[in-house]
Structure 1
Amino acid sequence: MSDIQEQKAPIAITLPDGTVRPYPSGSTGFDIALSIGRRLADDAIAIILDGKAADLNAPIENDARVAIVTFDTPEGRDIFWHSASHIMAQAIEELFPGSRFGAGPATEQGFYYDVASEHRFREDDLRLIEVKMLEIGKRNIRIEREEMQRTDAVAYFKNVRNDPYKVEILEETLKNVDRVSLYHQGDFTDLCTGPHLPSTSKLKAVLLFNISSSYWRGDSSRENMQRIYGIAFPSEKLLKEHVARLEEAKRRDHRKLGSELELFMLSPEIGSGLPVWLPKGAIIRSELEAFLKEEQRKRGYLPVYTPHIGNIELYKRSGHYPYYSDSQFPPLTYHDEDGRQEQYLLKPMNCPHHHLIYSSKLRSYRDLPIRLTEFGTVYRHEQSGELNGLVRARGFTQDDSHIYCRPDQLVDEICNAIDLTQFVFSTLGFSEVQTRLSMHDPANREKYGGTPEVWEQAEKDVREAADRMGIDYFIGIGEASFYGPKIDFIVRDALGRKWQLGTVQVDYVMPERFDLSYIGSDGQKHRPVVIHRAPFGSMERFIGVLIEHTAGNFPLWLAPVQAVVLPIAEDVHDYAATVHGALLAAGIRAEIDTRSEKIGKKIREAEIGKIPYMVVAGQKERENGEVSLRRHRQGDMGSFTVSGLVDMLRKEITERT
């Protein structure tokens, strides 16, 4: 620490464990980390200062709560990868002079930067950029923050950097901001709120893995840019681990496994993004539907069915058509015998249909809550480049439910919906679940329906329910639906990837648009509140994620084929058929393999097919009235009587272990 720092009055720094330590005013996060230990100081990349991320070398002038940020935290990875995008931009600028840069954020798995360049980037260029990035890292360039008036920043990016994209951001997006921040690293400067790494030397390993096309600010009428994706790490070891995970992800790809295990098919003759379920995949889907239907029945849900298309006026009334028109198929125009024209739309959402079911008769306060549920197929015209097997499709089925309740019942109903969603995830083996409270953005009011007062109440209700359920959540501003705030559930799969699946949404807007009402205890009409709820979300997306999470090794109750009977020789085929019949009679999905192949080959093929149980029958087993049992990926489990085998399998299926 400098002599000047030591002369200043001390400040009190509260560490995450509650310890309070005195430091000279003007101390930095690095000073604090170093006082704790050299290892921590070496690993530190930023700090959390009174709840907000800040640069490691920013001076701290007042008492504060401080946490040191390292790469092994979500905040640390985000900061590291965003800094890496700046280092990549500097490398591109040095290799390909004249390149200009749009947006370069961190992502869930790395970073990207949108580049405007006369050069068309290819795979070989990525390797050159990687080498240059590592060279910049070895230069140990200090990354420094500078704050200035917005007008001065405009002049800087016009006259010094000659960067029209940053000028546009400053003059349009940030036009109401007085001061902005720039980050300098050598000859490269970018407009950024930060924070960033203290120097480029933290970057030790990098992998650039994709180039795609993008548009400036996501507007197809604007400049076409090149988006370069990458990921970076503070050590080569972490990069190697990441590459190993990528290889495992390829092996688990649901499109690959879906084909190998004969679960679903995608055919251009049927249409892009329109998956077709094959018999084995249909079993998985029907078992999941039966599981949720059974649980919903216990919880008072009422099943309904609605058509696949609807009059366009219905979706105009709900607001889905104007809000989502870009992602919907064109309307179907129909002329009747009298020449009158009607327009229909492939159903984009199930909710409007359910609202009309609710309003089809007079409701009393005693009738509420009413919980309508449907596995309803909806259609979205996703861009072809965004389609991804089951997880991003144009036709998909939602496990959609709408709960109509009184305001005094709302928080209880939200809690019940949360509980059901948590039950579904735990049953399916998703143990790591994050929860986001998706709120509206008050600065972008035109994006949402309803009044500010309605939104304030809805978001208050969502918070109260989440707090009552003891959920560890974070807030996502601007992530709400146009009609209300949401509780979004984000699961982490076996490879550590995050997927948003289930959701619970509160809606005060649709009851107004559809004039929904109930007769209260005072004899007057009142507005119900609507909860939109879908634990699976999309059945297709959920199953696609489940395939990759389990690598196709489904729990017994979901496996399309739960057991296969493998006779060792032809002379025991009759006995094997008896065993097979006993399994079928017990409701177990079983097959029998009577091919004249050696038992070793039959077992290997059953393992490749990921069949949970292999029931081996030979002369010895027939004489003893038993079977030898093998478990997929575990091997020999010993001998069982046929009745003992049936009891064991039925117990595992019933308990959904």
Structure 2
Amino acid sequence: MIHITLPDGSLREYDQPLSVYELAASIGFALAKAAVAGRVDGVLVDCGFVIQGDARVSIVTPQEPDGLEILRRSCALMLAMAVKQLHPSVLLLKGSALGDGFFYEFALQRTLTLADLIPIEVRMRMLAATNHSIRQRPLSATEQHSVYCMGDSEYLSKGPHVPATKVLQAFVLDHVGGTSLQRIYGTCWPSQEELERWRTPPQVMLVNIDERQIAFTQSVTEQLRRSGIHAHVDLRNEKIAHKIRVHSERSVPYLLVVGEKEKHGGFVSVRSCSGEDFGRMKIDQVCGFLHPKDCGV
């Protein structure tokens, strides 16, 4: 007998091993439909992971941060498949969730433009509608990185991933950058409604100088959102001057810049789209500066 302890402390008994998805289905149809992964004794696993013995298990959905990251990571995988189908000579390198979205990096003989994103996004929607399964292939004795199968192709990728592409519906590609090594960026959300809400003009845009500030910049973004501020984050692998110029031209009211000094000091540099410099501020100061009513200031 296998004993499964759920997050609310309730205990369920099963007479044989079962997958995370089967566990979710035994709890309820809606939960199984929403499941993108599981957490078994604190470890994130795919829905196909088989629970062999007593464990503490929770079902992960896109409504929690880990689930949303998995959704976006899987969308990056679907992006890779679409690019490979449209450009067979492409060399796929790496992809992942990033900030509010995802990216995939690759090498291609010609430089892609924004116009090239249209057929790629169309192909991604076809792949989502076809509902390809995404499953992890067992590793051989010499392999060190997880391999996921989607369609007839295999991809080196960190997991977990969603069980199938049908859950990847609310996404859009919005940027391509680089020359010899190119990256396509996009965003993905659990629902079209959430995607449309994200696409409304933000009150503030956070930008990092390089990848060393990614985690801190994302955490500041989440703090501002919890305070009722409509914040976006740009973690693309682009020069900071370019990111500032682009978002200033788009008339984003305020830009929050994060470098190493800001990260270690726990603050951000605040400027307006017109170039006015408000100096460095702690996060609670930023919150009060941008939205004093919601911040209790």
Which residue pairs with 2:230 in the alignment? 495
Query: Percent identical across equivalent pairs?
Result: 30
Q: Say whether residues 1:126 and 2:82 are aligned partners.
A: no
Q: Which amino acid counterpart does residue 200 of structure 1 have in structure 2? A: T
Residue 392 (structure 1) shift: 5.1
Which residue pairs with 1:272 in the alignment? none
Residue 185 (structure 1) shift: 0.6
Distance, in Å, in 2 between the alignment partners of 1:232 and 1:199 is: 15
Q: Which amino acid counterpart does residue 202 of structure 2 have in structure 1? A: E
Q: Which amino acid counterpart does residue 65 of structure 2 have in structure 1? A: P
Q: Which amino acid counterpart does residue 241 of structure 1 have in structure 2? A: R
- Structure 1, gaps ≥5 residues long: 1-9, 154-176, 215-223, 255-387, 394-478, 481-486, 504-532, 557-655
Q: Which residue of 29, 36, 60 maps to 1:38?
A: 29
Residue 24 (structure 1) shift: 3.5
Q: Say whether residues 1:201 and 2:166 are aligned partners.
A: yes
- Structure 2, gaps ≥5 residues long: 234-255, 271-277
Residue 39 (structure 1) shift: 1.0
Q: Which residue of 523, 536, 541 maps to 2:267?
A: 536
Which residue pairs with 2:135 in the alignment? 144
Q: Which residue of 85, 96, 101 maps to 2:87?
A: 96
Distance, in Å, in 1 between the alignment partners of 2:167 and 2:197 is: 18
Distance, in Å, in 2 between the alignment partners of 1:554 and 1:13 is: 45
**Does the 8 A contact of 1:495 with 1:549 survive in 2?**
no
**Does the 8 A contact of 2:268 with 2:283 survive in 1?**
no
SS in 2 for 1:133: helix
Give matches, 1:468-507, under 5 Å. Answer: 490-491=219-220, 492-493=223-224, 494-495=229-230
Residue 490 (structure 1) shift: 3.8
| Distance 1:61-1:121 versus aligned 2 partners, 3 A rule | same
SS in 2 for 1:102: strand
Distance, in Å, in 2 between the alignment partners of 1:497 and 1:248 is: 6
**Does the 8 A contact of 1:489 with 1:500 survive in 2?**
no
Distance, in Å, in 2 between the alignment partners of 1:545 and 1:534 is: 11
SS in 1 for 2:111: coil
When normalised by structure 1's length, the TM-score is 0.35
| Distance 1:541-1:50 versus aligned 2 partners, 3 A rule | farther
| Distance 1:131-1:62 versus aligned 2 partners, 3 A rule | same
SS in 2 for 1:149: coil
**Does the 8 A contact of 2:209 with 2:259 survive in 1?**
no
Whose strand proportion is higher, 1 or 2?
2
Q: Which amino acid counterpart does residue 135 of structure 1 have in structure 2? A: M
Number of residue pairs the alignment of both structures matches: 256
Distance, in Å, in 1 between the alignment partners of 2:130 and 2:218 is: 43
Between 27-36 and 61-70, the greater mean CA deviation after superposition: 27-36
Larger Rg: 1
Which residue pairs with 1:242 in the alignment? 198
Which protein has greater RCO, CA pairs closer than 8 Å, 6+ apart?
2
**Does the 8 A contact of 1:28 with 1:57 survive in 2?**
yes
Residue 130 (structure 1) shift: 1.1
Distance, in Å, in 2 between the alignment partners of 1:120 and 1:110 is: 22
Q: Which residue of 172, 185, 207 maps to 1:229?
A: 185
Q: Say whether residues 1:76 and 2:41 are aligned partners.
A: no
| Distance 1:124-1:544 versus aligned 2 partners, 3 A rule | farther
Distance, in Å, in 2 between the alignment partners of 1:229 and 1:547 is: 31
Give matches, 1:235-634, under 5 Å. Answer: 235-244=191-200, 247-249=201-203, 252=204, 490-491=219-220, 492-493=223-224, 494-495=229-230, 534-536=265-267, 542-543=280-281
Distance, in Å, in 1 between the alignment partners of 2:281 and 2:115 is: 37
What is the root-mean-square deviation in Å for CA atoms of aligned residues? Answer: 3.6
Q: Which residue of 178, 190, 196 maps to 1:213?
A: 178
| Distance 1:20-1:148 versus aligned 2 partners, 3 A rule | same
Q: Which amino acid counterpart does residue 248 of structure 1 have in structure 2? A: P
Q: Say whether residues 1:113 and 2:90 are aligned partners.
A: no
